[in-house]
Each structure stands twice: as C-alpha cells, then as structure tokens.
Chain A
Amino acid sequence: MKASTVISGRFDTKNSQSIETYRKDGGYETWSTVLDEKRDPDSLIDEVKASGLRGRGGAGFSTGMKWSFVPKQTDKPKYLCVNGDESEPGTFKDRQILEFDPHQLLEGVALTCYAVQAHTAYIYLRCEFKLGIATVKAAIKEAYEAGMFGKDIHGSGFDLDVSVTIGAGAYICGEETSLLNSIEGVRPYPRNKPPFPAVEGLFGCPTVINNVETIANIPHIIKNGAEWHTKLGCPEDPGSRLWGISGHVAKPRWVELETGYKLQDLIDGPCGGIRKGHTLKAIIPGGSSSKVLLPDQVARVTMDTPGIRAEGSSLGSAAIIVLDDSVCMVDAVLNLMKFYAHESCGQCTPCREGTPWVVQVLQRIHSGKGRTVDMDLLLDIAHNMEGRTVCALADGACWPLTSIVKKFRHEFEAKIVAAPSATSSKVASA
C-alpha cells in the first residue's frame, strides 16, 4: 500500500486554495508551456491515452479514449463539462479537490480544453457544495486575472471561458447526459445513447464530460508524462486516487493511495480497523452502486479495476462503505433502495416503477410481513430493471440489491421466518 500526494499534496497547506500557493508549486507552468510551445493538441490526447488514466466518476472508462471520440473536423463549437455533482452515496473525494485545491482542477480544465480544442468549459457543481462553489468561483476569478483564462491566452490565439453551473440537488444530474440537460435548462432526463456526448452533447455539440478528480489528474500527467503515470500503482489501472472510507471503521477518512493496494490493509492501517468490539460484516467498495464484498473477499481483493472485477464488483467512485456486525443487511439495503427510489428521475418505466416496488417489498420484509417468495421476487424485479433503461441508475440500484440478497439471504430468511405471515405466499392481490 503506497500513500501518495499527487492530488492531495497541498490540501494541508495554509491557503491551499489560492493561486499563489498553487503557483509556488509550479502551478500553471504546464499550461503556459503548452501554449508557448504551441503543442499539438493531439499529442496531449495521446499522452493521456498512454497514461492509462481511467475516469474517476464511476464507470472507469479510459479518459484519453473518451477525448479521442471528439470529432476533429466540425463546424460546431466543442465543450468541456466537468462533473462535480458528487452525489454517489459514500463519496466525498471531489469535494476535497474543490475546497482545498481548485487550481489543479482549473489547470486540468485548461489542458483538457486545449487537447480537444474546446473554448468553453462548464464546471457543474451540486448546490450543497456551498464552500466548494465559492472556492472554485474565486479560483476562476484568480485564473482570469492571472491571464490563464480569457481571450488570446499568452498571445497564443487560444480562447477559453470557464464558468460554474450549479445543480439543484438531484442525483441523476451526475449522469453525464442528464448533466448536459441540466446545464441546458431542461428537465434532466438522461439521454439515449448513441449519440454519445463526444459527438452530440451539450447544445447538440461535441462535448467531453469528465469527473473533477479525473481532470485534476491531467496537469500531473502532462507535466510528468504518461510513463510516470503508468508506474503509479497497478499497471492495468495505474494512478493515484482519493479514497473515501466511511462507516464502521475506527477512523473514517479520505486518503490518497496508489491503486493496487489491498483493501484489508487500508482498513487495518490508515482506518484503524473496524470499530472497537465489532467485526467486519461487509464492504460496499465503490459507492453505493457497487456489489457488496464479504470479509473473505475483502481479505484478498486488491483495489484496482482488474482486482475488484475478479471479485465481481467495481471501484466506482472509490467510496468504501464499511459495515460491521451491528448492521442488519435488510435494513441497510432498504436504506440504499430508498435513495434510488427517491432519486430515480422517472423517465424509464422499469426504474420509475421498479425502484419504489423494491422499497415496498423490503419495507414489508423489514416490518415482519415478509414472505418466502420475496427474495426471489426481489431478484426478478432487479432482473427486469437491469440493463433495460436509458441510464445506469437502475443498474446501480440492482447491483447492491442483488448482491446483498444473494450473499445475505439468511438474514432475509431470518426476518421472514420470524414473521407471522411467512407461510402465506400471498399477502394480498393487486
């Protein structure tokens, strides 16, 4: 397990959010060099591609690859949208960047825009990030004043405008096409894909959408080169990530670590182990939309894309939710499913109707009116939702649900056996 300070190096510095602090560390030098040397934009895309950087938002798609989908020849303007709608339950990593070191994000924004030849960038932040919004706005002002943004930057002929757009607090707006609709000012239903945003995104124009942490990595990769990045952590999924650990550990926290470490080491080391007097029951490793891991899986899993896939789960937004033996898994999954039912945008039938139904069934089980058929019913409802909708919200609801029902079936059965109505296969007919 290798601690790292690529992203978080300045977080503890006084006035870490100011441009002076950032420039003292060589901040914006990469951006200035790229402009002064009139670097070929494609060379930046190639650099990021070669770095092996995967998106930090949840899906883990290759960032360089995503950029390369933006058409080179087009009459339309191109846009960059930075996704700072951080709302995946358990996730609090982007918030650190926004509040403590916004300028590395802004330099990343500049470099990304240059790479894909976009001249307008929107930084989309959830409204609850009051401090983050104020900090980023102040940083943008500083960057303009320092001549890093604006017209004809450094006499290069390259124009760039950056602004903050504030979301109204819906989880769905973190879905990239929903985010685009939110910026456009229409109801933020996710869009059908294809067309993908790289081809037809914001206002129908080619658009790159990247997570805050992804963009914050860009200045480091351009400065230090792709090869440097490939040597961080796991070779198949290199890099340094901010991990947020919440739940029943002695020390809930964020920590920056290179990929490829053992989850057990993180829990036992920086997090101080499971809280006193309790034992580990399960870990949801990548934000609430990932499949739950059992203690034996936690003991062997390495935290990188191939490692976590081998255990059937995903890194997601690197939000590690630790559950100890005090947790009732029926209760836990009910809590999660309430979130998805509440945040379903309501566009697609399976998610709109399926997520509240799951909540109703779980509530019934939880209140002691469960039936033996309910576990299979839950799995089948999930089957009818997963992969059947426009976006991945329904999938994100199904993965924790199905994994918890399958791995903790005995806890559901215990609730049901204890219930007086358990022998009846039907409670009432609809």
Chain B
Amino acid sequence: MIKLSIDGREVEVEPGTTVLEAAATLGIDIPHYCYHPDIGVDGNCRICLVEVNGNTDKLAIGCKFPCGEGMEVETESEAVVKARKGVMEFLLINHPLDCTICDQAGECPLQDYSYHYGTGDSRFAEKKRNKPKHVEFSEKVMFDAERCILCTRCTRFFEEVRDCRPIGVENMGGKSTITTGPNGPIQDPYQMNIIDICPVGALTSRDFRFKQRVWFMDFADTVCPGCSKGCNITAGSYQGKLLRFVPRRNTEVNASWMCDDGRLSYDKYNMPERVRGASVSGDPASFDAARAKITELVGDGQGVAVLASTSQTSEELFAVREWARTARVRDLWHGERTWESDDFLKQADATPNTAGAQALGYASVPSQAPELRGLIVVGDVDVPPALLANLDFLIQQAPQAGELGEAAVVLLPGRNALEKNGHWTNGDGAVQEVRAARDPGPDVPEDWTIWRDLAGVSWTSIAEITKAMGAVSTADAEAVTAS
C-alpha cells in the first residue's frame, strides 16, 4: 500500500492507483472530461491538473499520474485553480454557448465545471470558429462539431470497447473534428453509448433530442428488461411517459453500456392500450368477483398449470407460487422468449428474470405437456399453442391481453416491466433491484397484491415478500445485489 496526502488528508491506496482515483476515495472530485472509468485514460482535456509536491511549473494530470509514497497532492491550490480556469476558458472561447437549445443542458459537465471554474466574463474578443453543426453520424446519432471539446471519448469507446473505428479525428489543431470519414454512417449496434459518454452536447440522440429538458423529467434507477443481462439503466420520463433509457454504471454487469435495441425499447412500456380492471367472461367485474371465479374454476387444482412470464419480478412469482401452493396447483412453468444474441451484452434470453423464476421452482414447459383442464397465464408471456388445446378454462393476468384475451374466462390487469418493483436475477445470478419508472394509472394494481389476496396472505409490502422469499430461496441469498 502507498500512503500519500491529498489536500492535507492522508490516504492509503494500492500501487498503480491514480491521483484521481485516490482522491475519489476521499470524496474529492477532480474534474475531468476525457477520462472515463470504463474507457480509460487519455490525458488530453487537461482539466484534471493537480499540483504534486509543490511543483507549480508543471502540473500533473490527475487521471494518469500514479500515486507515490509520501506524495503531497493539492487539488485546489492557487496554481491548480488558475490552470483549470485557463482550461475552462480555452474550452469555452469557441464553444457556441447554445445551452438554451442544447439537449445536454442540465447534465453537462461543461456547464457544471463552468459554474466552479468559469470567470463569468469572457476575454475572448475574436470571432468564434465555425464547424459543421448538423452532422448525421447515423440514423441514431447526431453530431455538432462546434460543441465538441475533442475529448475523444467517442472514438476511444469504439476502439477500446467495441474494437472498431467507425469514427476518428480529422484535421489538426483548432480545426480538428470528429468524423465518420470515408466509413459512412456508424453501424455498430452499441453506438448510442457515445451519446451518454460525450461530456457535452456534441453527440445527441436523434430519438431523444428536442423532446424534453432533462430538469423537468423524472428518473428511476432500474434494470433493462430486454434480456437476461439486466443492464442497469436510468429510465427517464415526463408526466408518466417514458422518453429514454440510459445505461447506469455497474462494473459487475454492464459497466457503463447497453445495447441500442434495449435503449430504444422504452416506448413499448408506455402502453396506451392495456388491461384495466378485472373482467369475467368478457364482462367487467369486481376483483372480488374475479377472485371468486378463479377459486371456483381451479377447484382442487388437479389438471391446472401456471405459465408465468420471466419478466415478472421474483416477488411477483413468489406470490403466485404461494397462491398455487394453497390452491394445490403443482405445475409452475415459465415462458421463454429469445432474440439474437451478440458477443458483448445482448443475451439470447430476451427476458430479465429466467434465473429468478427457476430459482423459485418454475420449470420450462415440458415437451410432452400433461393434459390440462385449466391454464393460468401470468404476465407478458408467449403461450405454446399446444397448451391451449382442450382447455376448460384460461385465466390471464397481464398488462396486455393480446390474442389470448378473448379466450380468457377471467382477465386481470398487470404491470409491465417498467412499472414493477422487486428483483430480477440476471443470467449470471446477480439479483438486481427493479424500480417502477412509471405509474400505469387507475385499475392496474401491483401484480403481487392480486395473488396475495387470492392466497389469503397478509403481506403489506414488496419488502415483506422479499424477506419471506429470502427464507425459502437459497439461490437468491448467494447472489450479489448490484446497483
């Protein structure tokens, strides 16, 4: 271990730790643009300059400078603040300062650091440099060269993370700009990550741009339901309507990335058309009436099976299982849905909680399914047609009824993957917390309450189920909860 002092505070770090990383352990934020923890160090922006051992002639870059034994680092000394103000001034003299119409406004480090190191007045009396402003990097990404501060996070993302070079730096000096060059539009299916890591508004999402100022939006830290990777995301919405997903850093799962398919899937969870309230035989009914009908239909549970979606949270699946136990329904199956996987994040299992369902005893639908009298479909799940033959009754509890809806004797509402709370277990066994990013509106109670009431259990919160589930499910207890 190496001992050093940062701003007069002692800290001990592993050899090889940089000053920026060491400072972070003390809660000292050294400003940075080009450095990104999941891309690595470049050292071009020069905003992270720090003073080492009183050397004010040559300041060190905190993002790269390794900690040394007995080193004395100053992150806010007079020389450091002067240098940072200088760098901020350099970055802003040719920046268009079009924050008023820039999508990055409100989540822009250029704004944030200006607040700390900006002078509030400009010494720049010259004409600003003009560069291309509406460059289509692809059908997903738009580039504004005037806003760009040339930190090269975007080019390095492709080089370091995606092992490709669809964009690069063109020209030299002040004329430098990012370009697709002769490559044509970016094709990479993870390209939208460059929008998030761009520290300014140079790269914007053609899907999200100009839709909403971020400070009016609501955000929920949750998990992408698109596949069994469970990329951590922040879902942004405005007045209950989801407007975007962006990845949330989790080094155990997705680092700072997510696939474009997952990112652009947000709109399907807005669900203008959906099941509201209960119905029996196609007619609106009270939840009490629907429950009474289910109890009557299931009877002794013989010849009845549950087919649940693996987009349901483990808590919801646990509640279903509790009901099934009391109703003596023995066959608990989970649905399957796949899409094309890739060699990075995207998994073939296009649902987020197969592992959680399996840990709770849900099995794949057997290839030789037993003859069924009744089937209970829970959540957004694809039902194998063979199961539907010769059924006496079908019960469905789902956000959207789909083609099954008309056949269901009892139809109950459900919350979709962005409206749930609880946990999902990803394909690697990580149990991750899922938080509702939107409210579905009236007559769509939380799924678990429906099964709780059927089972006659007295849980009053998800947390109680999580606790109860922990006592019966060993698989969950071993996994790490990542956030």
CB < 8 Å: which of A388, A389, A430 contacts B125?
Answer: A430
Q: Which of A352, A361, A389, A429 makes the CB contact (< 8 A) with B174?
A: A352
Interface-side segment among A152-160, A245-253, A280-288, A338-346: A338-346
Q: Which residues of A contact B126 (CB under 8 A)?
A: 357, 360-361, 364, 430
In the complex, B294 has a CB within 8 A of chain A: no
Cβ–Cβ contact B83 & A388, under 8 A: yes
Q: Mark B79-101, 1 if CB is under 8 A from A, else 0.
A: 00011011101110110000000
A364 to B47: give the CA distance in the assembly, Å: 29
The answer to whether A187 touches B168, judged by C-beta atoms less than 8 angstroms apart, is yes
What mask results when residues 330 to 359 of chain A are scored 1 for a CB within 8 Å of chain B, else 0? 000000000001111111111111111100
* Residues of chain B lying within 8 A (CB to CB) of residue A189: 44
Closest A residue by C-beta to B44: A347
Q: Which residues of A contact B46 (CB under 8 A)?
A: 348-350, 388-389
A355: B residues at CB distance < 8 A: 173-174
Q: Give the residues in chain A near B90, CB-CB below 8 Å.
A: 349-350, 352-354, 357, 384
Contact call B93/A346, Cβ cutoff below 8 A = no
Interface: B268 (CB within 8 A): no
Contact B150 A346 (CB under 8 A): yes
Q: Which residues of B contact A172 (CB under 8 A)?
A: 172
Contact of A387 among B57, B124, B175 (CB under 8 A): B57
In the complex, the number of residue pairs spanning A and B with C-beta atoms less than 8 Å apart equals: 108
Q: Which listed residue, B49, B169, B176, touches A388 by the CB 8 Å rule?
A: B49
Chain A, 363-384, contact with B by CB distance < 8 Å: what is the 0/1 string? Answer: 0100000010000010000011
In the complex formed, the residue of A with least CB distance to B85 is: A384
Instruction: Tell me the bound Cα distance from A430 to B124 in angstroms.
Output: 6
How far apart sit A345 and B44, CA to CA, in the bound complex (Å)?
11
Determine whether B399 belongs to the interface, using a CB cutoff of 8 Å to chain A. Answer: no
A354-B86 Cα distance, complex, nearest whole Å: 9
B15 shortest CB reach to chain A, Å = 14
**Across the two chains, which residue of chain B brings its CB closest to A369?**
B125
How does the 8 Å CB contact mask read for B381-405 relative to A, with 1 for contact and 0 for none?
0000000000000000000000000
Residue numbers in B under 8 Å from A38 (CB-CB) = none
Whole-angstrom CA separation of A186 from B136 in the bound complex: 25
CA distance A347 to B44 in the complex (A): 6
B177 to chain A, nearest CB (A): 9
A76-112 vs B, Cβ < 8 Å mask (1 yes, 0 no)? 0000000000000000000000000000000000000
| A384, B171: Cβ atoms closer than 8 Å | no
Taking the complex as formed, is B452 at the interface, i.e. its CB lies under 8 A from any CB of chain A? Answer: no
- Take A349-B91, A430-B93 as given contacts and tell me if A356 and B173 are in contact as well, using a CB distance cutoff of 8 Å: yes
* Contact indicator B87/A350 (Cβ below 8 Å): yes
Contact with A357, one of B47, B124, B172 (Cβ below 8 angstroms)? B124
CB-nearest residue of chain B relative to A384? B86
Q: Is B83 touching A346 in the complex (CB atoms < 8 A)?
A: no
Report B72 CB to chain A, min CB distance, Å: 19
Give bound CA distance, A364 to B175, whole Å: 20
B190 to chain A, nearest CB (A): 22
Q: Is the CB of A345 within 8 A of B172?
A: yes
Interface centre among B44, B45, B93, B150 (most CB of A within 10 A): B44
Segment among B58-66, B241-249, B344-352, B462-470 that sits at the interface with chain A: B58-66
Interface size on B, residues (CB 8 A): 40
B92: nearest residue on chain A (CB-CB)? A430
Say whether A352 contacts B125, CB under 8 Å. no
* Chain B residue contacts of A377, Cβ below 8 A: 123
Q: Which of B59, B94, B125, B174 contacts A344 (CB 8 A)?
A: B174
Would you call A384 and B89 a contact (CB within 8 A)?
A: yes
CB-based contact B174/A388 at 8 Å: no
Interface string of A180-224 (1 = CB under 8 A from B): 000000010100100000000000000000000000000000000
Residues of B within 8 A of A387 (CB): 57-59
- Is B225 in contact with chain A by the CB < 8 A criterion? no
**Given that A384-B83, A388-B49 are contacting pairs, would A353 and B93 also be in contact in the complex, using a CB cutoff of 8 Å?**
yes
Task: Please measure, in the bound complex, the distance between the C-alpha atom of A355 and the C-alpha atom of B171, giving whole angstroms.
Answer: 15
Find chain A residues with CB under 8 A from B149 CB.
349
B47 engages A349 (CB within 8 Å) = yes
A364 vs B126: C-alpha distance in the bound complex, in angstroms? 8
A346 touches B87 (CB 8 A): no
CB distance from B171 to the nearest CB of A (A): 7
Which B residues from 343 to 363 make CB contacts under 8 A with A?
A: none
> Which of A351, A356, A430 has the most CB atoms of chain B within a 10 A radius of its CB?
A430
Kindly report which residue of chain A lies nearest to residue B90, judged by CB atoms.
A353
Tell me whether B162 is interfacial, beta carbon within 8 Å: no
**A231 contacts the other chain (Cβ, under 8 Å)?**
no
In the assembly, what is the distance between CA of A344 and CA of B90, in Å? 14
> Is A390 among interface residues, defined by CB-CB distance under 8 A?
yes
Chain B contacts of A65 at CB under 8 A? Answer: none
Q: How long is the Cα–Cα vector from A244 to B266 in the complex, in angstroms?
A: 68
A426 CB–B CB distance under 8 Å: yes
A contact residues around B59 at 8 Å (CB):
387-388
Can you list 18 A-B pairs with a CB-CB distance of less than 8 A?
Answer: A187-B168, A192-B43, A192-B61, A343-B172, A346-B173, A348-B44, A348-B45, A348-B46, A349-B91, A349-B149, A350-B90, A352-B173, A383-B82, A384-B82, A388-B86, A389-B46, A426-B125, A428-B125
Residues of B within 8 A of A (CB): 41, 43-47, 49, 57-59, 61, 64, 82-83, 85-87, 89-91, 93-94, 122-129, 149-150, 168-169, 171-176
Q: Could you list which residues of chain A lie within 8 angstroms of chain B, going by C-beta atoms?
A: 170, 172, 187, 189, 192, 341-357, 360-361, 364, 371, 377, 383-385, 387-390, 426-430
Q: Knowing that A342-B173, A351-B173, A388-B87 are A-B contacts, what are 8 other residue pairs whose CB atoms are under 8 Å apart, sorted by A's residue number? A: A348-B45, A353-B91, A353-B93, A356-B129, A357-B124, A360-B126, A364-B125, A387-B57
